[in-house]
Structure 1
């Protein structure tokens, strides 16, 4: 925190005035901050008779801060009295404001990044900053049209699909690969479908009932539900269709928005905590995390990013007649198993892959899912994503493998196709920004 330096102060946690000391001259003797426990090396406030010292930032730490990503469940922290650090593990800390909650965090941990908190000057400011609790219960269902005998909504109107009603169902009438238009994952459990026969719109019941506004642990601002057809998720770093929560300048896909800040992950024995400062490589894909950090284990060097957390646990692919499962550890020495059966490139045994335990088929996640696993087939892309003069649609494949209008090579994977019937523009997705 940038604050104007003061020459002396009276601090509420010490009985004597504290004098500002610009230079430390204690040769051969270390002094420790009574708040954070770290060695005093920078300018500080001191009470020499008591050997009491505070770093400048620790001395001026606010008494109360608002909702913080470290503890998003409640509205903020208040500053505790810190013990005198005869044991240097004792540190000043903030405690949760909610009565009965025992959550405590070090002063320097809570204040390390000022993007994640607000200084609260008065009690009522919490509601002004974050709204009332009722704000988190606004349903994204705009109207319930019909209900069952037990009160369950069987026909609804939803903000994401205006003009048509959605009807509740528990299974597909035919075996088809349908995806939820909210989370873009396969439809398998209770879901709503569009009542119009030619409209293929589906929502998991859970996705349909999501709140339109809620508080989210990743940002101190509210998160607003949006049903844009296309956006880049700022957490998993994928282009996605479906629902997004927009919070504090970030667009977050539904799969990432539903991940809590502390998780139990079946591929690891310990709890994983989200760390905004984490810069370790992901154990799933080997990539470096971005500025937003990653999940890490507090007991060992295990890290996961949002991209790997959003991978489906099982998939179906044409390379194998059986279901392929996401696998975290490769203990198989069989030589073929060490190569991807799609791209035929040798796999890194330390990274995740999909495999069939029956057939020994194995492949990279990106080869199995494709580059755009969460984009809906047939969506119209925003104009800033291409250079064509007409609207273009995304397709996972093109019939008869036409030649790309830009590079001339055959289109075997994802393409963009012009929506104008008289225009023959078809390009590889990678060629979308090229001008003809």
Structure 2
């Protein structure tokens, strides 16, 4: 047996073994680099892996950009909140990994920034027309390129000719970009053009100071974005388009028009005819093949297959969805694709869905979104709130949705800039009007969430489905004032409204998992006279759809996935 070469380094308590690092992220620099070598820990219980170059970093460094004190190499201390601090060189968040830190002051830098510090002079910076010089003493200052004043000292880049001072990360700001929030290209300018009205950022909706740089629409529309907002990863695709010609986008129609009421849609081989909703078929068993919502609850027109035995049906609004689109929460173009027989999860609302989705067109990007979330744009005028809603930030830690009252840290929300109202995408994509029974004379309208004039407290209502009390000031509901009908939104639509009936396979289930879980299941309309019992909840399934696997029924997709199978 070949004897392994063990390496002992002062940065780790266990011996290390040489290995290839091409597919691994280094624990010190957090970078994955092709054709690189390094070390892994010899211990079976330790996952420590590092590049060879990082492992050979000196424990103490006398850096020319911080001459007063030596810098010590150590891992970032998350308990002290250092992950949110900024690198004194590049002015970006430290996040994790190892850093060089001065124990006598607040000077702290990325490992890579200390190894490859910024150049002392920059001859042709993108964000400025003159030569810039790096000032070796960290300080707190306001950047003339982005207008931000950082909380921690950083190394500034200064222009000796005009006095401009910039963050290191703002020196290379792109000149011309395209962002997800606007349909025209934007160009960087060191100051806004003269205007009698105040400028407002198209991303964060805050004021834009005319003394600092920002991005402006290359066309005549009054659109401006802060430099930092425009270059966010969820807004900009990272490409500088300066010097690149703007080519028109190819628009491919979703269907061919046969006559006034007949089309041939690209997702179906037969002709589809436009019909009003047939009340004789409103039993809940039919679902739109694109959005997966039940045909029964939709008050609009539908397209139905002209072949009697086909059963293919689409909402009229879904049939008109574009084959390709842009979304405000993703910087790349999206393409309409089918989920087939697999269940997918939306990256925006985090709900499982079937039917169709919008996929990112890039091979290295796996972003996907259900069609209802993809149809949301800003400003959003929601039926439950008098003010428009905007997607201002991708971080909503601990902020509760005004509709469902959930405080999920990972859910995306849109908020009002005039008050404290916000909605998650689960609530945003609820149908504004629905039909409950075919005998209903009026559709039920969405309400609640504290966005209207309803009051809670002693004004209790009753849900017509679950027959429990409702506080109109808490949660969303559907109601008809003329008929005095009120139901919980989740009682009417169910826990999995985006799951249509059919047979499915779950791509996320490991067939060798212990305990074993079913890889195939069926979704059924819950329309029988006697509703089935859920194997997990041990109660009758209350929602419009039920799940069946291995002869057992489940009221929700959550129960199906978390059932212990023996």
Question: Of 331, 344, 357, which residue of structure 2 is paired with 1:220?
Answer: 331
* Cross-structure match for 2:110: none
1:275 is displaced (CA, Å) by 2.2
Q: Distance in 2 between matches of 1:179 and 1:298?
A: 37
1:241 is displaced (CA, Å) by 3.0
- What do residues 19-57 of structure 1 show as CA deviations (whole Å, max 9, x unaligned)? 2113246xxxx7432223333631111246854311212
- 1:97-136 equivalent positions in 2, closer than 5 A: 97=218, 99-113=219-233, 116-120=236-240, 122-124=242-244, 132-134=248-250
Question: Of 280, 304, 323, which residue of structure 2 is paired with 1:175?
Answer: 280
Q: CA 1:201/1:290 → structure 2, altered by over 3 Å: closer, same or farther?
A: farther
* Cross-structure match for 1:59: 171
Question: Of 15, 19, 28, which residue of structure 1 is paired with 2:133?
Answer: 19
Determine helix, strand or coil for the equivalent of 1:381: strand
1:234 is displaced (CA, Å) by 2.3
* Cross-structure match for 2:97: none
Q: CA 1:36/1:389 → structure 2, altered by over 3 Å: closer, same or farther?
A: closer
Ranges in structure 2 where 5+ consecutive residues have no aligned partner: 1-89, 93-112, 193-207, 510-515
1:68 is displaced (CA, Å) by 0.9
* Cross-structure match for 2:454: 331
Q: Distance in 2 between matches of 1:173 and 1:114?
A: 43
- 1:132-151 equivalent positions in 2, closer than 5 A: 132-134=248-250, 137-141=251-255, 147-148=258-259
Determine helix, strand or coil for the equivalent of 1:281: coil
Contact 2:273/2:306, CA 8 A, preserved across alignment: no
Contact 2:436/2:492, CA 8 A, preserved across alignment: yes
* Cross-structure match for 1:82: 191
Contact 2:346/2:369, CA 8 A, preserved across alignment: yes
* Cross-structure match for 1:432: 560
Aligned pair 1:196/2:307, yes or no?
yes
Determine helix, strand or coil for the equivalent of 2:491: helix
1:313 is displaced (CA, Å) by 2.2
Q: Distance in 2 between matches of 1:13 and 1:410?
A: 64
* Cross-structure match for 2:267: 160
Given the two structures, how large is their TM-score scaled by the length of structure 1? 0.78
Contact 1:44/1:54, CA 8 A, preserved across alignment: yes
1:281 is displaced (CA, Å) by 2.5
Q: Which is further off, 103-112 or 210-219?
A: 210-219
* Cross-structure match for 1:312: 431
Contact 1:330/1:350, CA 8 A, preserved across alignment: no
Q: CA 1:16/1:348 → structure 2, altered by over 3 Å: closer, same or farther?
A: same
Q: Which is further off, 56-65 or 388-397?
A: 388-397
1:292 is displaced (CA, Å) by 6.4
Q: Distance in 1 between matches of 2:162 and 2:328?
A: 41
Given the two structures, how large is their TM-score scaled by the length of structure 2? 0.62
Q: Distance in 1 between matches of 2:479 and 2:211?
A: 49
Q: Distance in 2 between matches of 1:388 and 1:123?
A: 54
* Cross-structure match for 1:70: 181
Q: Which is further off, 118-127 or 264-273?
A: 118-127
1:363 is displaced (CA, Å) by 4.1
* Cross-structure match for 2:347: 234
Q: Distance in 2 between matches of 1:114 and 1:64?
A: 17
Contact 2:456/2:473, CA 8 A, preserved across alignment: no
1:240 is displaced (CA, Å) by 2.4
Q: CA 1:154/1:115 → structure 2, altered by over 3 Å: closer, same or farther?
A: closer
Determine helix, strand or coil for the equivalent of 1:307: helix
Q: Which is further off, 196-205 or 107-116?
A: 107-116
Q: CA 1:298/1:116 → structure 2, altered by over 3 Å: closer, same or farther?
A: same
1:316 is displaced (CA, Å) by 4.3
1:223 is displaced (CA, Å) by 1.0
Question: Of 378, 400, 409, which residue of structure 2 is paired with 1:281?
Answer: 400
Q: CA 1:254/1:50 → structure 2, altered by over 3 Å: closer, same or farther?
A: closer
Q: Which is further off, 400-409 or 215-224?
A: 400-409
Contact 2:554/2:560, CA 8 A, preserved across alignment: yes
Q: Distance in 1 between matches of 2:254 and 2:559?
A: 37
- What do residues 100-129 of structure 1 show as CA deviations (whole Å, max 9, x unaligned)? 2331111122124377322325533765xx
- What do residues 309-342 of structure 1 show as CA deviations (whole Å, max 9, x unaligned)? 1112233447x97754322336346846256562
Contact 1:91/1:106, CA 8 A, preserved across alignment: no
Q: Distance in 1 between matches of 2:225 and 2:142?
A: 19
1:304 is displaced (CA, Å) by 1.8
Q: CA 1:340/1:189 → structure 2, altered by over 3 Å: closer, same or farther?
A: closer
Question: Of 354, 357, 369, which residue of structure 2 is paired with 1:244?
Answer: 357
Q: CA RMSD in A?
A: 3.6
Q: Distance in 2 between matches of 1:60 and 1:385?
A: 41
Q: Distance in 2 between matches of 1:172 and 1:340?
A: 26
Determine helix, strand or coil for the equivalent of 1:109: helix
Contact 1:278/1:289, CA 8 A, preserved across alignment: no
Question: Of 523, 538, 542, which residue of structure 2 is paired with 1:394?
Answer: 523
Aligned pair 1:296/2:415, yes or no?
yes
1:140 is displaced (CA, Å) by 3.2
- 1:344-355 equivalent positions in 2, closer than 5 A: 344=468, 347=471, 349-355=473-479
Q: Distance in 2 between matches of 1:404 and 1:15?
A: 68
Instruction: Figure out how many residues of one structure are paired with residues of the other and give that number.
Output: 404
1:308 is displaced (CA, Å) by 0.9
Question: Of 29, 34, 39, which residue of structure 1 is paired with 2:149?
Answer: 39
Q: CA 1:60/1:371 → structure 2, altered by over 3 Å: closer, same or farther?
A: same
